[in-house]
Amino acid sequence: MVQKRTINLTFHGVGEPPRALDEGEADVWVSHDRFLDVLDGAAERDDVRITFDDGNASDLELGLDALLERGLTATFFVVAGRLGVSGFLDEADVRRLADAGMEIGCHGMHHRPWRGLDDTELRAELVDAKATLEAVVERPVAEAACPFGAYDRRVLRALRSAGYRRVFTSDRGTTDSARFLQARNSVGPADDAGLLGRIPSVDGAVGRRAKLAVKRWR
């Protein structure tokens, strides 16, 4: 089987932020116009996969219709512990996305880096958050996105044993769509559709994994 090179894009918030942003969040919050421009670019290609992190209310308010109008689908990585918090998706919103043909993935329980957590904390992020989201959409949640792009071998082992089939990072570059580890490219406020022509063809996830392996041998 020929494995296809895919460009995975990550959006966070879109449009006017409805709440005070966390530190660093403004760097990944995009205007409505830029968002639509990148989506237009993605719609012209067949090698772009779109993802949204953090479960912002704009996923539904601005994201869903724009995707449907362009015949696109996306995966929405939702923070289970933020469901219903002002500015974020609630359970009905997540169900609407799922019912419209969108994929729902897990972005943990409390939006904290998974690296360095103890076993109980890691279980809450990977297992309990997954179960919470599965209860909302009444179907398996089998994809995860690492908050802040942070992971290590222990996190990946825990993700596999929690039953995830695919894990999305922030390692940049293109990736094989069949891989367990999926590199992604975060879209920032200065990006437009031209971004798609500037994605490095290296696989960031593979590069990162090679680094992890080197660390292990040292």
Site residues, Zn ion (CB under 5 A)? 53-54, 147
Of 6 and 51, CB closest to Zn ion:
51
Smallest gap from Cβ 38 to Zn ion, in A, equals 18
The distance of closest approach from Cβ of residue 108 to Zn ion in the complex, given in angstroms and rounded to an integer, is 8
Least gap, CB of 79 to Zn ion (angstroms): 7
CA dist., res. 196 & res. 9, Å (int): 9
| Closest residue to Zn ion, based on beta-carbon distance | 53
Closer CB to Zn ion, 105 or 147, in the complex: 147
Whether 181 and 210 have beta carbons less than 8 Å apart is answered as no
- Residue 46 CB, shortest distance to Zn ion, in Å, is 27
Q: Which residues pair with 78 in a beta bridge?
A: 106
Q: How far is the CB of 217 from Zn ion (least distance, A)?
A: 31
Q: What is the CA radius of gyration of the chain?
A: 16
Q: Which residue lies nearer to Zn ion by CB, 25 or 91?
A: 25
- β-pair type (143-145, 74-78): unpaired
Comparing CB distances to Zn ion, the nearer of 41 and 79 is: 79
Q: In angstroms, rounded to a whole number, what is the distance separating the alpha carbons of residues 145 and 153?
A: 15
Nearer to Zn ion among residue 13 and residue 41 (C-beta) = 13
Sign of CA dihedral 209, 210, 211, 214: positive
Q: What angle do CA 122, 105, 210 make, to 5 degrees?
A: 65
Cα(50)–Cα(185) distance, integer angstroms: 10
